[in-house]
Structure 1
Amino acid sequence: MKFDYISLTGISLALIAILGGQFLEGGNLGSLIQLTAFMIVIGGTLGAIMLQHSLPVFLRGVKMLKWVFRPPLNDFHKMAADLVSWSHLARRGGLLALEPVMEDQDDPFMKKGIQMLVDGVEPNVLRSALWIDIAVYEERTKKAAKVWEAAGGYSPTIGILGAVLGLIHVMENLSDPSKLGAGIAVAFVATIYGVGSANLFFLPVANKLKSIVQEDITRREMFIEGLIAIANGENPRIIEAKVRGYLN
């Protein structure tokens, strides 16, 4: 995995712009730090998404968070070169010559595909079996990415809920001016936390994860097309022309 610096740059730029604007306007940055508002928004959002999703889906979504900064390496150029190399190997030594290649694979999906190819499975059966794997993978991973999408939907509303709670606190203490400031602060800061976390973190994370998943699915489709071409005994040059279409 490689580190995705644009994700770190994006979140840093957003925070610097917002906090910098607050500072330039003469605001106190410390006024944006409210533990009560944080508990209401983040705790409430967390509870809502846990209620919406099953435990495996929720945990998978949390585990996928690291992909935002360290996404899986989908090297399409290497995949294209490997498929062409395997086609030459199969053309010279037959499909059984790919058995050592299968043993070198760490990706279970690729290992399964090459194993079926070496075993002489019919191309249409091979395609069908691997497409089922892709469909299951897509459903599981995109459902997990929607954990963050759900968080982006709930947090602004829960921020408004925090604002209402803060205003209730204000109304209850109108006779005591010393307590009005804290209630008003919670009201406004909770709204900032809700809207800010949704638009600066939760929704961008969800969309980035879905794009990463889609890229991985495209890589798997490329792998299937290459394997089918090898199974059909197509000329390596034709196979190269096919798989290079995915590089665009």
Structure 2
Amino acid sequence: MDPATLIGVIGALVFIVVANVMEGGNPASLIAIPAMLLVLGGTIMISMAGGTLADTKLAVRGLVKAFTGGAGSAGALVPTLVSLAEKARREGLLALEDALGDVDEPFLSRGLTLAIDGTDPEEVRDILEAEVVAVKAEAKQAAKFFNSAGAYAPTIGIIGTVMGLVHVLENLAEPEKLGHLIAGAFIATLWGVMSANVFFLPVGTRIARLGELETARMELIIEGIAALQAGSNPRVVAQRLQSLLPADQREPEAA
């Protein structure tokens, strides 16, 4: 689990509360259930309206992954792929069947199974790349849901503020109530802007980033399996795979 999103969201809320207290405010005054229901509930419903129920289910899965998931390092797969390349070069592709039980990466296991079964290399690549496209599309759609919510939330907050100001105008005959009513009216705008920039947009960005990391890992596996099927020299395989990694993930001698 990579806790970056959890730390970031909680940290931002802590700084907001601390700043409010330092300015002499009361954090409890920011908790307005009607405003929160309007902004959060209305934003989620409108985001659902812009897609399908399947898109909403993807967004829920993306939300869970954003807070509890992470993307494994692509660089960690290089030694495994090089070891498999050595074995395949010495003993042939069929010898890799015994190594399948030690492979923890499902995508790699599926690719190796196709290669061991004698599937044409181009067909193997096409099948695996189709799965990469599907993963990219899922991450893109889940991220789009939260990015759309981040765009809608401030506007919904303004709607709440306008509703509150209408209530203020209804009570002009009672000046002693106006201060409290005006403050309450602007809480909706606060929640709209805050939810967009502290929650919805960061979660959308996080989902998109995890998708990028996952697909980069899958693309590295595809290149490794292609090298296995071609019977490439393990040293060349290692150099090829290292060249696909970001500089901070490469082995020192390969960097």
Pick from 237, 240, 244 the counterpart of residue 239 of structure 1.
237
Pick from 95, 109, 112 the counterpart of residue 111 of structure 1.
109
- Please tell me the residue identity of whatever aligns with 1:70: T
Deviation of residue 186 (structure 1)?
3.0
1:223 aligned residue = 221
Pick from 149, 152, 160 the counterpart of residue 151 of structure 1.
149
CA distance in 2, matches of 1:143, 1:3: 21
1:12 aligned residue = 10
User: Structure 2 length as normaliser, TM-score?
Assistant: 0.90
Which deviations, in whole Å up to 9, do the C-alpha atoms of 1:78-119 show, x marking residues without a partner?
210110011011112211111233345455432321111101
Pick from 211, 214, 217 the counterpart of residue 213 of structure 1.
211
CA distance in 2, matches of 1:23, 1:153: 28
CA distance in 1, matches of 2:50, 2:102: 40
CA distance in 2, matches of 1:46, 1:8: 20
Q: Which moved more, 1:118-127 or 1:193-202?
A: 118-127
Deviation of residue 37 (structure 1)?
0.5
**SS at 2:68's partner residue?**
coil
CA distance in 1, matches of 2:143, 2:57: 11
- Please tell me the residue identity of whatever aligns with 1:50: M
1:40 aligned residue = 38
1:199 aligned residue = 197
**SS at 1:180's partner residue?**
helix
Deviation of residue 178 (structure 1)?
5.5
Alignment of 1:92 with 2:80, yes or no, is no
Q: Which moved more, 1:151-160 or 1:99-108?
A: 99-108
Which deviations, in whole Å up to 9, do the C-alpha atoms of 1:108-165 show, x marking residues without a partner?
4323211111012222221122111111221122111211111101100000000001
- Please tell me the residue identity of whatever aligns with 2:86: H
1:61 aligned residue = 59
Q: Which moved more, 1:223-232 or 1:25-34?
A: 25-34
- Please tell me the residue identity of whatever aligns with 1:137: V
- Please tell me the residue identity of whatever aligns with 2:186: F
2:250 aligned residue = none
CA distance in 2, matches of 1:145, 1:106: 27
Contact (CA 8 Å) 2:5, 2:203: kept in 1 or not? no
**SS at 2:118's partner residue?**
coil
CA distance in 1, matches of 2:197, 2:14: 15
- Please tell me the residue identity of whatever aligns with 1:207: T
Contact (CA 8 Å) 2:87, 2:95: kept in 1 or not? yes
Q: Which moved more, 1:12-21 or 1:203-212?
A: 12-21
Contact (CA 8 Å) 1:141, 1:213: kept in 2 or not? yes
Deviation of residue 241 (structure 1)?
0.5
Equivalent pairs: percent with the same residue? 39
1:50 aligned residue = 48
Which deviations, in whole Å up to 9, do the C-alpha atoms of 1:60-79 show, x marking residues without a partner?
21122122233234122321
**SS at 2:244's partner residue?**
helix
Deviation of residue 213 (structure 1)?
0.4
CA distance in 2, matches of 1:106, 1:227: 15
Alignment of 1:31 with 2:48, yes or no, is no
Deviation of residue 181 (structure 1)?
4.5
1:21 aligned residue = 19
- Structure 1: tracts of 5 or more residues without a match: none
- Structure 2: tracts of 5 or more residues without a match: 247-255
Contact (CA 8 Å) 1:36, 1:186: kept in 2 or not? no
